[in-house]
Amino acid sequence: VSMTAIDNQAIASSVHYLFYLANPASGNNNIVFTASSGDLRGGGVSYTGVKQTGTLDASAKGTDTSDPHQVSVTTIADNCWAVVYGGTSGSGLTAGATDTTTRTTVSSNCIGDRNAATTPAGSVTLGFTGADTVNTAMIIASFAPAVASIAASRRSIVVI
């Protein structure tokens, strides 16, 4: 099943991407990456309680050479969950930036979140520490919450 691209951010000779898949099949599933050439790294996290249509609430991207490496997004809906990706060619990134919990790290790439819903809707800044002043690709996205009155057995997304 193809995932939906949120955005990409280029730094130096690499391009970094953030994708999501709404309502994945239950159970254990593989995330498969394909590239025509080059170095390919990936990681995934899964979230529940996410709206299944109009899933992506807002997104932003940028590069950051400061430490901590951070990026901001302004959420639209109340109770969104913000997720951030950071990728660098420098040393590994780790949690440590304000309000960011690292969920997965692959080499010098991280996925994290705020570990809480954003309420009320508004600006959210997430990021990672490490990599000193190396240019870091950052992509942040907020995901709308499922509406409580909609009955469904599974409301989840996978983010890579």
Q: Which of 50, 53, 45, 17 is nearest to 143 (CA)?
A: 50
Of 1-5, 37-41, 116-120, 143-147, give the lowest mean pLDDT range. Answer: 37-41
Asked if the peptide bond before residue 68 counts as cis, ω within 30 degrees of 0, the response is: yes
Q: Render pLDDT for 127-149 as a digit per residue (tens, 0 to 9).
A: 888 766 778 899 999 999 987 44
pLDDT at residue 1 tops 50: yes
Within 13 Å of residue 154, how many CA atoms lie on the same side as its CB? 12
pTM of the model: 0.86
Q: Render pLDDT for 26-63 as a digit per residue (tens, 0 to 9).
A: 888 888 887 777 677 778 888 888 888 889 999 999 99
What is the residue whose two structure tokens read 């025509």?
Answer: 36
DSSP code, position 53: S
